[in-house]
Every structure is written in structure tokens, then in C-alpha cells.
Chains A and B, each alone.
Chain A
Amino acid sequence: MTYALDVLQLLLLLAAAPLVRGVVSCLKARLQNRHGASVWRPYSELRKLFSKEDLVPPTASPVFRLAPVVLFAATVAAAAFVPALHGSALLGATGDFILLAYLLALGRFFLILGATDGGSPFGGMGASREALVSTLAEAPLLLGLTAVAIAAHTATIAGMVRWTLAQQFFHLSAVHALAFAALALVAIAETGRVPVDNPATHLELTMIHEAMVLEYSGPSLAWIEWAGAIKLSAMMALLIALFMPWGMPVSFSVAGLVVAPVVFALKMAAVAAGLALLESGMAKLRMYLVPDFLGMACALSILAVVFTAMMR
């Protein structure tokens, strides 16, 4: 039965991912006093892209077409590690958070290759910038997760969620605040949101992710966009599961089955609102200030690890 629930929560993450994006951009529009597009627009965009033809540069190699496929598969596999509706996920084993981080890296590796394969200057530009951001984001991501793992005395995501569930909210230490701050900064960088990257820009000076996918079109672009949406939702769900899991059913019950999706949706909406607020209130950082931003995440995560190790 829990197995069915695991599959269900993965499918929910995949299916609702474009909606989360739509909600964030709708909230952003409202905050900026615009009417904004419907929250369902990402779905119609995906449908439109799937019905179009795939334009491939004649100089491109098969890697160009392989990249979106690998990106999507790796992102879905990473999302399968994230608990959303209850305390565990479809996939999980000792040290699974390392695997999650590296599956995201696998997808990104191929997307960067695809970007350089287009043979245009934009692809290379985006690829080079993405390589910088992702390189610097790797260490704080793993250190932040390590801090939580040490505090929870377990190396599985499900174990960490269960441990946090067993704590009182006000009994959580400063370590949690540090690790949360570090992981939130990393999540912003990983998913390419303001202030690291602007998902709504096509200006050469600033774009990172958009420059990488500039040569993609049709279904290939649809897979990339969908994978990006899944990554955003999975990161949000991971932060929720690790730092505010209260409301997740500990054991299986019918009431829990009804309540859990509602609670999860509310929490996702709250995080989305926070993201929209942040994106409206901040300007995008200059390219060479991004290392400072991630350096801050790194410092926070190092402190988190040191304090957890000292306070065991």
C-alpha cells in the first residue's frame, strides 16, 4: 500500500510541476501589479511544444538530441527520492541524498553538452556560466544535507524526515536554521531563479539557463522545460520534507491519505509565495557576484556541519 503511495507522490510531483511554475509566475505578476497569465499556462506551453517539430542544427551530433532525454530521465529519477505525501519516497537507500545530488548533476552534464553542440555562441555562453554555478553549488548542497544527516543520525532522506517529524518545532536547533538557509540558497542557484539566474530573460548579459536551451525547440524543449519544472518542485518538496515535514502522516491511514495532499499543497503554495516575493524584491546579481552568493551558502553549510558535529 505504501508502495502505491510512493508511486502516487512521484506522479503528483511530475504532474503538478508545471502548475508550481505557473503559480510562482502568477504570484510574481500580482506582486508587480500585473494581471499575469493563468496558472495553467505552463501546461498549454508544454502541449504547444509537443505538437511542434524539432529543429536540429545540421552540424549537431546525436548528443544534441540525447541531452533532453537524459536530463528528463535523471531529473525524474532524482524526484523519485523526494518524500512528498508521507515520510518516505519511491527510492531510498543509505546515502541516497548523495545519489540525488549526483543525478541532478548527470542531467546537467548532458544539458551542458547539448548546449555546446548547437554550435552557436549562446549555447557555449550559457554552458560556461552553468558550469560555474553548478560547480560552486555542489559543495554547499552536499554539506547542508550532511549536516541534517549528522543531526538525524541517519544517511537516508526518509530517516531524516522521520527524525524531524519526531522533533518539536521549537526544539530544533540553530543548526537547522543554518542548514535550511544554505540549502535554500543552493536550491535557488540549482533551479536558476533570481537572484542567480532570471528564468524570464533573453538578454545575453544575464541569461544562463535560457542561453543554454536557446537552440532547442519543439518536443526537445518541452522535455527540458518539464524537467526544469520537476527540478524546482522536487527541490521545494525536499526542503519541505527536511525542514517542515509536520503534517505528513507517520503511518498509513485513510484520513492521512486525504489530509496529506492538502497539507502538502498548502506548504508548496507557501514556499512558492516566498519565492515570488524574493524574486520580485530582488534584482538579479551580476554574474561575478554569484560566487559570493554561493560562497555564503558554503560558509553557512560548513558552520552547520561544524555545529552539528560539536553538539552531537
Chain B
Amino acid sequence: MAHILFNSLLVILLALPAVTLLASPFKALRHLSPALLMIGLVAGAVAAARSLCHPCLIASDLSSITPLPFALALDRLSAYFLLLICVVGAPVALFSFSYVERHYTGRRRDWLWALLPLFLLSMVVVVTASTAFAFLFGWELMTLFSAGLILIDGDDSQRRQKLFTYLLMMHAGAAAVVGAFFMFAPHAAGLDFASIRVAAGLMPAGVRTAVFLLAFIGFGTKAGIVPLHVWLPKAHPIAPSPVSALMSGVMLKTAIYGFVRFGFDFLGTGPAWWGYLVLAAGALSGVLGVLYALAEHDIKRLLAYSSVENIGVIYLGLGAALVFTANHAPGWAALALMGALLHSLNHALFKSLLFLGAGALADATHTLDIEELGGLFNRMRTTGTLLLIACCSIAGLPLFNGFVGEWLTFQSFLGGATLAASAPAIVLPLMAGVLALIGGLAAACFVNLYGVAFLGRPRSVEAGDAVEVPLAMRAGMALLAAACVVIGIAPAIILRPLSAIVQDLIPGASLPEGALSIARFVPWLAAMVIAIMLGVALVRRVTRLTATWACGSPALNSRMQYTSTAFTSPIRKVFAQAYRPDRTLSVEPAEQPYFPASISYHSIRTVHFEQALYRPAVNTIVAAANRLRKLQTGNIQVYLLYMFLALVLLLLFMRLA
């Protein structure tokens, strides 16, 4: 059953571009592609859920019919990430149903409906691949299809430059991933996952470390850990909103999948410093990501930086799990890994919801700058409610899904104190403080986003005239919001399959006692909170609408409200070290500073990773390229000489080797 559903997902995704192009001339058939896409994704979700509960190994080996070792298989870990792709993909497809109709016509519309399924298919291939070839095939296509989807919105020079950064970094990361796979080649019978798993146990420690570091860098680039995150705030904002939702919500998670596959499935136990490295990367990404997000007032850039933060939280869990396995505490490792995997799913749900919400806001107000918004809740009740759920979830508040994942990670940090070695017993509990700081900053960031965009008075004419988005867009967002609430209130439904996955990955892991008590506990807490709220709501109150007192001046206007910049100003001041802003204030005329004719103030945050890290690297590469260019004389005799010399060197090398 699951086998058929999974294959139908693959077939539908593969056939959709052709269907789109064939159906494009007929107006009556324009809903065909979105409908088929949703059917395929629902089938995929059912297949994933079934094979998550009843592990039956679904495998499609295409190497017999193709000359290439292309094979897919669905074990528990793959099924979990397949579920993630389909559960997020289906609502995004539903949302796009209206969104694409309203924003794209003709060729661009066809391209979008052709590339979207292929992008999803490439991600499905990545998480279900069972050979290195299939994995890398999907991995490369994922980058290319997402780049194609970004180009649908236009290709002016600025966008091209951003896209170039994206492609460059993705390929650098892919090179590391390829390297990580090829390190296995001399030791493994073949590059299928089963042989790799066997070989990994037999390899010398140095090679294992090299594999780990290559995987850390390769997948870290895709996931966007600091300082490899620079592509994220460039690439996400320029993509169409449903594509941003998939890129941020789902594509980043394929990197988490890859890292878990390498770190836990292939390599298993490693030295403790692997874990500390991952913890450090997670802490740095978490804190800096959320600090940068706080300083943004373009919704999509804010969300992109917040993805960096959430990837940091996931890496904190992964790092803790690695430290625990190195210290022979499989139970706690399993708990930490559960936290990381659950936060991956949670982040996929609420981040894609937020990106869809950004699309809805742009649809209604034609701007993504929250300083131009305000008071939207009264004009877009449904969108407002759904995004309130998303903001509560991403802020990690209890009764929403974000909290459950963070709670598991917190628990595992506490478990660090039970270890015999003193280094992890000190470091891991302190990480609880880092996680709390990240949580606090994230709450401030999203209370700011929601408060400025949806509450108060409209700050522009567009915000004041906004109307609610069409039903399909609201329905897509509602599905994601419902998933956030369900996992938040009844986490047992996801915790049980998750504990099965981590027990597959970490042998001998029995979860610490009481570790999942939250699953039994939270529904009651939710019932209690809701009961109190209903009780409070029943108390009689007489409401009168009346204008806010304006301290005697005629009336308040929207210019008097706190802006996003003003709201976050105290936090930015406290963490000024992380921003190092460049401020320029010019007062005209300069000799009369107290009676200026005009004041202009400009503040940009120095992106010091780009200046300190990337600028020198780029300069070095350019300098090296310039030097190498001297070889290229344009003279054909010289080129023949090069070829001859290369041949001689090769022969000498073969002779000596």
C-alpha cells in the first residue's frame, strides 16, 4: 500500500511539468496541476506516516533499468523527513493555488507550476536516496530548481548577484558533501548506504574525522549555520513567497537530514569534540541569527535570519546528542536527538506558515516593510489569527509546538549533569542558558513583528485599505497553523514515532525516566488554561469604545506609535557589539543644529562576516585567478606545450607510483 502511494508521489511529481505545459493552452485545465500536486503530496504524506508506524522497507532500485546506481529506500528517518516535506508541501501547494493565479500569468505561471513539483521531487529524492549517487543527484537538482524558481520573479542585476552568491555557496557546500561521500570510496564495497554504514565502522579515526568535518561544512552551508549563513538573507527574500516557504521550511531540513544520516547513522560514536564543535556552531547561529532578525524590518529578511536562529537551536540538540554518545549515555543522546528532529519538523511548520503569511501581507498591502504596516488584524482577521499562532509557536511558548522541541532539548541539557566526565557536565547545563537567551530574544523578535504589523494603527494607506486574502491562501495557512497547535497540545502523536526513529539510530537507547512526561501532561495543562480563560471571559464586562487619551493634544496618529526600529532599539543597544552599526546623521544647515531645515539619518548594520571572512577569501581567489591568467596567452603553440607537459608529468607520475 505505502509502496504504491510513494511511487505515485514520484510519478506525479515527475509528470507534472509535462502536464502543466500540455494543459497550459486550455483555460479549463488550469487547476489541474495544483490539484494533482496536492493529491501527490497527500499520497506521499500517507505513505510516510504508514512506513513511520509500521516499518516496512520500501525500496525502488532503478539501477537495473538505468546504467546509474540510482536507488531509493524509505527507512524510519527517511520516512520522517518525507512526512515533513509532504506535510509542509501540501498546504504550500494549496496556498499557491490562489497566490500564483493572482501574481503570475502566462509563461511565468507555467514555469512556476513546472518547477515547483521538480523542486519538491529533488528534495524527496535527497531524503529517500539509498545510494550516494541518488543523494548527490537530488542534492544538486535541489539547488538548481530552487535557483530557477527564484528567477521567475525577474533577473535584474541585483537579483542575479544575490543568486550568484546562493549558487556559489551551495556548490561549495555540495563539493564538501561529495568529498564526504568519496572519503568512503576506498573503504566501502560500493557507495550505497548499506556498504557505507559497514565501511564507516572499519575506517581509521583520522578518515572518520575528515568525513565528519566535510559533512559538517557541507551540510552546514545548506542549513545556514553562522558563518556560512550569508546566502540565506539574500536568497530567501527574492523568491516568490511559496518558494521561500519551501526553501526555508523544507530545503534547510534536508541538510539536517544529511547531517543526521552522516553523524548518527553512518559514523555513530565519535570523539566528544565533534559534539562541542556542533554545539558551538549552534550557539553562535542561534544567538547571532536572532539578533540579526531583531534588527530587520523587512519581513522576509527577518524570517531568513530567524531560520538561522532555529537551525542553531536544532544544532544545539544535535551537538548535545553527539556529546552524549561520546560519553556513552545513549538514552540522553536519544532525547537530545529527538529534540533536534522535532524542532526540525516544528520549524518547517511555523516558518513556512510565516513565509506564506508574508506572501499574504505582500498580496494585501504590496509591501514587506513592517514599518509600513500596522492595524492589519482588524482588516485580515483570519490571516491575523493564523500568524498569531505562528508567532507564538516560533517564540517557543507553551501550548504551541515550538515549545515541545525546545523543552526536549532543555531536558537533555539538564541530563548533562548526570555524566561522569566533568567537561560535559558543566558545558551542557550552561547551554540551557544559551537556549533560554535565544528563546527570550526570539519572543521579543516576534512580538515586535506581530505587534507592529498587525496591531495598533495602520502606518500607511495600503495597510489601511488592506483586504483579506482569498480562501485557498487562508486554507493553506490554516492547515499549517492547525498542525502547530495539535503538536503543541498533544505532542504524544509525534513523540512516539520519534522515539522509534532515534532508537533505530542510536543503538541501546532507552529514554531517561520521565523524559516524555510532557506528552501526558500538556493536554491537561492546555485544558486548565483554556478553562480559566473561558471562566475569565464569562465574567460580566461592559465595553465602551472610546479614543485613547492623547495627553490633551487633538488626537493620536500613527506617526506617534512605536515603530519596529524603536521597539527593538533597547535590545540593539545592549547587544551593540553584535551589530556594529554604521550611522550617518546629516543636519542641514550644519551651523544651526537646533533649527534644522532637514535631517537625514542613515544606519546600516555592517555585515562583518562578509567583511572579515568573505572579503579576504574572495580577494585571494581573485588575485590567484589573475595570476593564473598569465598562463592563458592565446597562443596555440603554448597550449600544445601545456598539453605535452601534462602528458609527460602524468606518465612520470604513473611510472613512479
**Interface on A for B, CB 8 Å cutoff?**
50, 53-65, 68-70, 72-74, 76-77, 80, 91, 93-95, 98-99, 101-103, 105-106, 109, 112-113, 116-121, 123-125, 127-129, 131-132, 134-143, 146-147, 149-150, 153, 155, 215, 218-220, 223, 287-288, 291, 298, 301-302, 305-306, 308-310, 312
From known contacts A63-B388, A95-B518, A105-B443, infer whether A56 and B544 are also in contact, taking CB-CB under 8 Å.
yes
Structural contact, A305 and B529, CB atoms closer than 8 A: no
Structural contact, A109 and B545, CB atoms closer than 8 A: no
Interface membership of B571, Cβ < 8 A: yes
Interface membership of B40, Cβ < 8 A: no
Q: A72-B532, A124-B561, A124-B562 are in contact. List 19 more A-B contacts (CB 8 A).
A: A54-B544, A63-B388, A70-B533, A77-B528, A91-B528, A109-B395, A113-B451, A119-B556, A123-B562, A127-B562, A135-B437, A135-B440, A135-B441, A138-B439, A139-B433, A143-B432, A143-B436, A288-B573, A305-B430
Structural contact, B561 and A119, CB atoms closer than 8 A: yes
Structural contact, A69 and B537, CB atoms closer than 8 A: yes
Interface membership of B152, Cβ < 8 A: no
Structural contact, A56 and B398, CB atoms closer than 8 A: no
Interface membership of B472, Cβ < 8 A: no
CA distance A150 to B434 in the complex (A): 17
Structural contact, B447 and A61, CB atoms closer than 8 A: no
Which residues of chain A come closer than 8 Å to B430, judged between CB atoms?
Answer: 143, 302, 305-306
**Interface on B for A, CB 8 Å cutoff?**
375, 377-378, 384, 388, 392, 395-399, 403, 407, 410-411, 413-414, 417-418, 422, 425-426, 429-430, 432-434, 436-437, 439-441, 443-444, 447-448, 450-452, 454-457, 513-515, 517-518, 520-521, 524-525, 528-530, 532-533, 536-537, 539-548, 550, 556, 558, 560-562, 566-571, 573-574
Which residues of chain B come closer than 8 Å to A291, judged between CB atoms?
Answer: 574
A231 to chain B, nearest CB (A): 15
Select one of B425, B440, B444, B548 contacting A139, CB under 8 A.
B440
Structural contact, B562 and A125, CB atoms closer than 8 A: yes
A275 to chain B, nearest CB (A): 24
Structural contact, B410 and A143, CB atoms closer than 8 A: no
Structural contact, A53 and B543, CB atoms closer than 8 A: yes
CA distance A125 to B456 in the complex (A): 13
Max count, chain A CB within 10 A of own CB: residue among B392, B413, B437: B437
Structural contact, A132 and B571, CB atoms closer than 8 A: yes
Select one of A124, A129, A137, A155 contacting B414, CB under 8 A.
A155
CA distance A56 to B541 in the complex (A): 12
Classify the interface of chain B: helix, strand, loop or mixed: helix
CA distance A256 to B153 in the complex (A): 73
From known contacts A138-B437, A291-B574, A301-B433, infer whether A117 and B456 are also in contact, taking CB-CB under 8 Å.
yes
A7 to chain B, nearest CB (A): 12
A213 to chain B, nearest CB (A): 13
Structural contact, A63 and B377, CB atoms closer than 8 A: yes
A50 to chain B, nearest CB (A): 8
CA distance A105 to B541 in the complex (A): 26
Structural contact, A69 and B536, CB atoms closer than 8 A: yes
Structural contact, B417 and A102, CB atoms closer than 8 A: no
CA distance A123 to B533 in the complex (A): 23
B324 to chain A, nearest CB (A): 15
Structural contact, B397 and A109, CB atoms closer than 8 A: yes
CA distance A101 to B395 in the complex (A): 13
Structural contact, A219 and B417, CB atoms closer than 8 A: no
Which residues of chain A come closer than 8 Å to B520, judged between CB atoms?
Answer: 93
A228 to chain B, nearest CB (A): 15
Select one of A56, A98, A106, A109 contacting B543, CB under 8 A.
A56
CA distance A30 to B311 in the complex (A): 54
Q: Which residue of B lies closest to A108 (CB)?
A: B443
A8 to chain B, nearest CB (A): 16
A257 to chain B, nearest CB (A): 25
From known contacts A109-B392, A149-B414, infer whether A298 and B433 are also in contact, taking CB-CB under 8 Å.
yes
Structural contact, A143 and B398, CB atoms closer than 8 A: no
Select one of B398, B518, B533, B540 contacting A103, CB under 8 A.
B398
Structural contact, A305 and B426, CB atoms closer than 8 A: yes
Structural contact, A61 and B543, CB atoms closer than 8 A: no
CA distance A131 to B569 in the complex (A): 11
Structural contact, A58 and B574, CB atoms closer than 8 A: no
CA distance A54 to B388 in the complex (A): 24
Q: Which residue of B lies closest to A92 (CB)?
A: B521
